Amino acid sequence: MRLGLLTAIVSLLLAGPSPAKPAHLKALSDYIGPSIPKAVNDCKTCHLPDTPDEDGKPHNAFGKRVAEWRKERRKAGLPNDIPAALDALADEDADKDGVPNLVEILAGHLPGDARDVPTLAERAEATKKLAALRAARADYAWEPFRPVKRPRVPAVQNANWVRNPIDAFVSEQHEKYGLKPRPEANKATLLRRVYLDLIGLPPTPDELHAFLSDPDPRAYEKVVDRLLESPRYGEAQARHWMDVWRYSDWAGYGAEVRDSQPHIWRWRDWIVESLNADKGYDQMVREMLAADELDPEDADKLRATGFLVRNWYKFSREVVLDRTVEHTGKAFLGVTLNCAKCHDHMYDPFPQTDFYAFRAIFQSQDIRTDRLPREPDIKKDGLVRVYDAHADTPTYLFVRGNDKDPDKSKPIPPGVPAALGGAKFEVRPVSLPPVAVSPDNRPFVLEEAKRANEAAIGPVRNAEAKARARLGTVLLGSNPWSVVGRLPAMSARDDQQAQDESAARIAELKRDVFLALLAVEAIDQKAKPDDWKSAATKAGGL
């Protein structure tokens, strides 16, 4: 099992308390202005430049003050995100250059470097920005990860234009900025839009004329239903989701696979088929993250684990796990959990330990390619999927994100960020059927192996019979002196016959050994001592 992945992480990804406000950088930018996120991503805002004799990046005066403040807040159980820090430290002067921290940031200068001082003109402009920023923040509440409250639907002047609550909010903005809505689209434009939205292709001239001439009041609804039932719908929508989930065929150098895996196209087909089958998003997520535990014998669903296979990288397992954490967080949580690999997250409430706890969920996984019916060569075709190969491998926090410097004093247990809420993370074992653990024991693989062994015996037995027949023809000839002249050839044929007999016997032994091993494995599962004795006696005679 991948540390209870099927019941733990999937439920937390899908069943949080309620929809929450976004925590991404765009939302932060909307809240506190574009200059602040730029400063957040600039190491020089909080750190001194690198020097050869220093370990990591030491804090400058502003960075020390922020770290000290966040430590105090975290200890008190209070919010310690970037907006809260800027509110608390805005009017302080960390580098003692006479300019408040936030004014200096808005002026495009460093609040931790006393030599980097804004001009009087820059200070004046930044002071204006600060006043505007504080006024604007009253209209945009920064509440990441807090449950969304249903807003009041605004009353608008153009009430006749409103057909649903969303229209009311749009109309409110029209009125705010003095805009007027566009006129209703004509039928031809409406048809083109719905075609492009649902299947990514425009209507043909025949389809357009049929729609324009259809007097049925439900003509538009009929078009929508037909497009939703079209296989083109799944193909078009899959293009979007494959971008979100990072679908990619394998890449490498020549025939050497370095990224992703061969046969991962089966995951692509699963995405298209799932969308066309109207499979729920929640079920798709479950299968992508845990089909090997939820449906370990269902080859169609196992294709979904291509989402995890996609992170494979030949040269580093650390890269594989880092990619898994990063892209699982981005795809299903909408957060950059990877930013907490080296230190606490800069603007989300994720301490560094959250990254490694999340990584511990996937620590045991690896990939393999299973055989498919009628194709024994997995290089030609196969089912690439994830499975648990390293169940007992511990997870350690890497000091400053350096995988060469793990902190082995305390293994990190699997978990998810507490800021996400939801149920308490719990690891539960999963019992897998024997064929999921040993895929070469699946019935079709064993049956094909039996047939291959039997088929290998026939040709060598035929060759042996032909050799015997040729030798018999020579010995029964009427002229004894001609036999003497053929002795060298007869000797060669005799040697060939012996080789054919040995090859036939070897083929039969391979078949018998294979069958004996199957019997032993079957008995092993049933654990009957008498059957063990009988099978061992038979195997000993081979």
Residue numbers of the chain with a pLDDT score lower than 70:
1-37, 40-41, 50-56, 138-143, 422, 458, 460-461, 463-542
400 and 470 share a domain? no
Interatomic CA distance for residues 365 and 382, integer angstroms? 19
- For residue 4, being part of any structural domain is answered with no
- For residue 304, being part of any structural domain is answered with yes
Interatomic CA distance for residues 389 and 321, integer angstroms? 14
340 and 476 share a domain? no
Q: What is the pLDDT of residue 245?
A: 97
- For residue 81, being part of any structural domain is answered with yes
Written as one string, the DSSP assignment of 132-189 is HHHHHGGGS---BTSBPPPPPPPP-S-GGG-SSHHHHHHHHHHHHHT--PPPPPPHHH
297 and 394 share a domain? yes
405 and 480 share a domain? no
250 and 397 share a domain? yes
Residue with tokens 């050497």: 256
Residue with tokens 């997870």: 395
Interatomic CA distance for residues 237 and 65, integer angstroms? 48
- For residue 428, being part of any structural domain is answered with yes
- Structural domains of the chain, count: 3
Backbone angles phi, psi at 364, to 5 degrees: -85, -10
Interatomic CA distance for residues 523 and 502, integer angstroms? 31
- In one-letter notation, the amino acid at residue 452 is A
371 and 477 share a domain? no
Q: Which of 124, 139, 154 lies at the terminal end of a domain, its last residue?
A: 139
* Helix (H) and strand (E) counts in the chain: 23, 6
Q: What is the pLDDT of residue 32?
A: 62
371 and 414 share a domain? yes
Give the orientation angle of helix 487-526 with respect to helix 443-475, to 10 degrees: 160
What's the predicted TM-score (pTM) here?
0.75
Q: Which of 139, 167, 183 lies at the terminal end of a domain, its last residue?
A: 139
378 and 344 share a domain? yes
Domain that holds residue 129: 24-139
Q: What is the pLDDT of residue 515?
A: 62
309 and 417 share a domain? yes
Q: What is the pLDDT of residue 96?
A: 94
Q: Which residues pair with 386 in a beta bridge?
A: 367
Taking 3-state DSSP, the helix, strand and coil percentages for the chain, each rounded to the nearest 5, stand at: 55, 5, 35
252 and 124 share a domain? no
- For residue 398, being part of any structural domain is answered with yes
- For residue 11, being part of any structural domain is answered with no
406 and 462 share a domain? no
- For residue 69, being part of any structural domain is answered with yes
Q: Which of 123, 139, 155 lies at the terminal end of a domain, its last residue?
A: 139
Q: What is the pLDDT of residue 234?
A: 98
Angle among Cα 252, 255, 260 to the nearest 5 degrees reads 40
356 and 493 share a domain? no
Q: What is the dihedral of CA 34, 40, 42, 46, to 10 degrees?
A: 140
